[in-house]
């Protein structure tokens, strides 16, 4: 007997026919019990394919309609079982213990008391598992590509694996220059006596070809010269499907494009190569975005961003942002603002090298200090590989800081150097990472001109890794993820009070240790308990992220860390560095997630694992003054915490 394996797979996705079931005035409710076949993968496919299961709550039926639905189920489930290599299976469906062809089944269902569920039981006798006896390739295959076909005699006759073997061969041929290769759907022949199949593939590799003319279509404002300079694909190179797709993804990352489609010619062009056409759809040139966040320590914030994605036609980007910050919050003392203007030029002087010019202004009133600053900077960023990048820049800040009723004026000049590694392959920083790592090392030599003046180097290491439990076979991809992060930093060359307050390290808040108010972890001023800041920090987080259904998820996490450096009593602003670590702080928490197209909306609640309140012991013989920590903190925002 001859039959096509693709037909077996295709029928698994049968959809509901509107006229399959009859509707009655009094629908018959029912429950479905599908017996296990012993193969968890097959069990999952059977349940996903069953219309008795999928339509039970959404398409009520009459007793006669239930019988008709069950009869249609037999062929549907048999198709699934055959796709796993069992071609002599028997599927039995009974309703309330009666076979579907029982004369009295309809009367028995009509006699059920109102509100009583009918019991539908589905069982399987799989029979023997078929194996592949003969596997043949009809046609000539280049010797270098023969290893791509891995289907062997004796393997189970699982339809998906048979089809995948043909797809892998076609992909290998197209990857190595055979643009017009064809691998026809396999034909299977069943033996009438033994549970075996003979499978045959017809292959036409065609000639090995090269890339021909490259056509650019759909550009409006963006200059074609930039696209061709950026294009990684070149006429004359050997045809490769993956190289064409890599060129498309690279161009899409430039920014101004909403979509890029590729059309591969069906015949050779006058150059003797395969013509390739890139069709571009540019995004709207201007965009306006809004953002907001809330936490109990920093209060609320709200902002707006205006963007020009293609200023002069070479994908230059201009972003103007303004936010109102510190709207309430236990770690703030007044409302502030944060504004910035950033202009980025891509591919300046070198491919994958961008230059960004930035200016900004910030005004914030925190328990640790009050700050007003105007900042500026130029940063050159070079992409070294698909995962590695490096940047170097010059930044300045002219700022006024008030701490403990003492005003400081600083002019800071820094030369930050950063090396970054990112294997998460996210299109946006708001996307949900499920695998890979996101790490960085930054070193910022800084000269502080003010009172007092100082030179120092701030070094920070940030590590974040994500592990999908699907790799252990526990869950479906992306459903259960373990995320971890680690942060360490040190300021060298300056004492605690010659280091400007905004350059010191502080712990607490969503960026370091959740469950503790912003900047509250570390040395404090004994007179009032306000944060003093330190010269070193270590912090780590471990988080389990679990998705439920399509849009919801939960998170369970523990954060810990400490800030050290210059722990002195009173308000001795002339104290020098004494590298004394503070007590390790640990917080735990839970959160819920709502997943949207632009990233998950996060709601976290965290609290310390014990009472970390500190006391003023500077005045001997006087009652102790208690500086309590928050009992809990709430964080709301867009995107994961890290």
Give counts: helices (H), strands (E), the chain. Answer: 8, 31
pLDDT bucket at 615, cuts 50 / 70 / 90: low
In terms of residues, how long is the chain?
642
Of 44-48, 148-152, 443-447, the range with the lowest mean pLDDT is: 148-152
Q: Sorting pLDDT into bands at 50, 70 and 90, what band is 19?
A: very low
Whether 457 and 556 share a structural domain: yes
Same domain, 293 and 377: yes
pLDDT at 578 over 60: no
Same domain, 93 and 241: no
- How far is 57 from 216, CA to CA, in rounded Å? 51
> Same domain for 450 and 488?
yes
What percent of the chain is modeled with pLDDT above 70? 91
- pLDDT given at position 582: 59
Which of 236, 255, 282 finishes a domain? Answer: 282
Return mean pLDDT, the chain. Answer: 89
Q: Same structural domain for residues 138 and 221?
A: no
For 460, counting Cβ atoms within 10 Å of its Cβ (0-12 exposed, 13-18 middle, 19+ buried), the class is middle
Q: What is the pLDDT of residue 21?
A: 35
Residues 174 and 105 in one domain: no
Over pLDDT 90: what percentage of the chain?
76
CATH code: domain of residue 222: 3.10.20.310
Which of 99, 125, 151 represents a domain boundary (last residue)?
A: 125
Among the listed ranges 5-19, 235-249, 454-468, 581-595, which one has the minimum average pLDDT value?
5-19
Interval 204-217: pLDDT, tens:
999 999 999 999 99
Angle, to 10 degrees, between the axis of helix 63-83 and the axis of helix 159-175?
50
Asked whether residue 151 carries a pLDDT value surpassing 80, the answer given is yes
388 and 424 fall within a common domain: yes
At 608 the pLDDT is 95
Do residues 405 and 552 both lie within one domain? yes
In tens, the pLDDT along 380-405 reads: 999 999 899 999 999 999 999 999 98
* Each residue's pLDDT tens digit, 268-281: 999 999 999 999 99
Whole-Å CA distances, 72 to 78, 79, 106, 621: 11, 12, 16, 88
How far is it, in rounded angstroms, from Cα 590 to Cα 135?
A: 54
| pLDDT at residue number 476 | 86
Distance, in Å, from the CA atom of 55 to the CA atom of 60, rounded to the nearest integer, reads 8
The number of folded domains in the chain is 4
234 and 320 in a single domain? The answer is: no
Question: What pLDDT score was predicted for residue 553?
Answer: 96
Instruction: Average the pLDDT over 453-471 and give the result.
Output: 95
Is 538 in the same domain as 406? yes
Q: Which of residues 84, 103, 125 is at a domain's end?
A: 125
* Residue 363 pLDDT > 80: yes
What is the pLDDT averaged over residues 297-326?
96
pLDDT score of 14: 30
Here the CATH number for the domain that contains residue 526 is 2.40.160.50
**DSSP state letters, 388-422:** EEEEEEEEEEEEEEEETTEEEEEEEEE--EEEEEE
* Domain range enclosing 269: 211-282
Compute the distance between CA of residue 499 and CA of residue 455 in angstroms, rounded to an integer.
9
3-state secondary structure of 44: helix
pTM to 2 decimals? 0.76
Do 253 and 384 share a domain, yes or no?
no
Q: How confident is the model at residue 496 (pLDDT cuts 50, 70, 90)?
A: low
If you ran DSSP here, which 8-state letter would residue 210 be given?
B
Q: What pLDDT score was predicted for residue 572?
A: 37
Dump pLDDT digits (tens) for 26-53.
689 999 999 999 998 899 999 999 999 9
Same domain flag for 120 and 147? no
């Amino acid at each position: 007997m001859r039959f096509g394996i693709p037909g077996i797979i295709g029928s698994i996705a049968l959809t509901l026919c509107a006229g399959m079931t009859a509707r009655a005035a009094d629908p018959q409710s029912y429950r479905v019990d599908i017996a296990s076949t012993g193969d968890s993968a097959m069990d999952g496919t059977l349940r996903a394919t069953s219309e008795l299961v999928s339509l039970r709550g959404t398409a009520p039926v009459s007793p006669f309609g239930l019988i008709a639905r069950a009869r249609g189920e037999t062929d549907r489930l048999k198709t699934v079982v055959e796709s796993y290599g069992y071609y002599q299976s028997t599927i039995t469906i009974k309703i309330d213990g009666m076979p579907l062809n029982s004369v009295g089944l309809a009367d028995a269902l009509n006699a059920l008391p109102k509100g009583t569920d009918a019991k539908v039981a589905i069982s399987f006798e799989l029979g023997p598992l078929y194996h592949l006896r003969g596997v043949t390739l009809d046609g000539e295959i280049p010797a270098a590509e023969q290893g791509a076909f891995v289907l062997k005699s004796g393997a189970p006759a699982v339809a998906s694996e048979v089809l995948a073997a043909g797809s892998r061969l076609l992909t290998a041929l197209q990857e190595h220059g055979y643009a017009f290769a064809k691998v026809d759907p396999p034909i299977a022949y069943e033996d009438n006596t033994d549970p075996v199949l003979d499978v045959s593939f017809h292959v036409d590799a065609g000639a090995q070809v090269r890339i021909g003319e490259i056509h650019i279509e759909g550009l409006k404002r963006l200059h074609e010269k930039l696209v061709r300079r950026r294009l990684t694909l070149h006429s004359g190179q050997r045809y490769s499907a993956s190289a064409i797709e890599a060129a498309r993804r690279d161009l899409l990352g430039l920014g101004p494009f909403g979509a890029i489609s590729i059309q591969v010619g069906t015949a050779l062009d006058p150059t003797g190569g395969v013509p390739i056409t890139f069709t571009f759809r540019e995004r709207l040139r201007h965009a306006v975005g809004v953002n907001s966040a809330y936490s109990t320590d920093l209060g609320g914030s709200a902002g707006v961003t205006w963007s020009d994605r293609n200023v002069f036609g070479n994908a230059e980007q201009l972003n103007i942002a303004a936010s109102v910050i510190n709207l309430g919050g236990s770690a703030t003392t007044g409302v502030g603002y944060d504004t910035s203007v950033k202009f980025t030029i891509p591919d300046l002087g070198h491919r994958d090298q961008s230059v960004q010019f930035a200016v900004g202004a910030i005004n914030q009133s925190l328990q640790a200090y009050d700050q007003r600053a105007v900042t500026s900077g130029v940063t050159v960023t070079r992409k070294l590989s698909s995962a590695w990048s490096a940047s170097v820049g010059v930044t300045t800040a002219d700022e006024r800081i008030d701490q403990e009723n003492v005003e400081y004026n600083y002019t800071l000049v820094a030369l930050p150097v950063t090396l970054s590694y990112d294997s998460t392959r996210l299109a946006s920083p708001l996307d949900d990472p499920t695998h890979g790592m996101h790490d960085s090392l930054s070193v910022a030599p800084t000269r502080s001109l003010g009172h007092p003046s100082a030179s120092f180097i701030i070094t920070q290491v940030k590590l974040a890794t994500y592990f999908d439990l699907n790799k252990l076979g526990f869950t479906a991809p992306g459903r259960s993820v373990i995320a971890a992060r680690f942060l360490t930093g040190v300021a060298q060359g300056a004492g605690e009070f010659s280091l400007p307050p905004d350059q010191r390290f502080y712990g607490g808040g969503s960026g370091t240790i959740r469950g503790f108010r912003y900047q509250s972890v570390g040395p404090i001023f004994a007179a009032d308990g306000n944060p003093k800041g330190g010269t070193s920090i270590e912090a780590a987080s471990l988080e389990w992220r679990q998705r439920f259904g399509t849009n919801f998820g939960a998170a369970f996490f523990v954060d810990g860390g400490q800030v050290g450096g210059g722990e002195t009593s009173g308000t001795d602003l002339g104290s020098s560095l004494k590298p004394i670590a503070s007590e390790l702080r640990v917080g735990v928490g839970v959160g819920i997630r709502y997943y949207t197209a632009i990233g998950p909306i996060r709601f976290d609640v965290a609290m310390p694992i014990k009472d970390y309140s500190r006391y003023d012991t500077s005045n001997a013989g006087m009652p102790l003054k208690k500086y309590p920590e928050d009992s809990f903190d709430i964080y709301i925002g867009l995107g994961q915490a890290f």
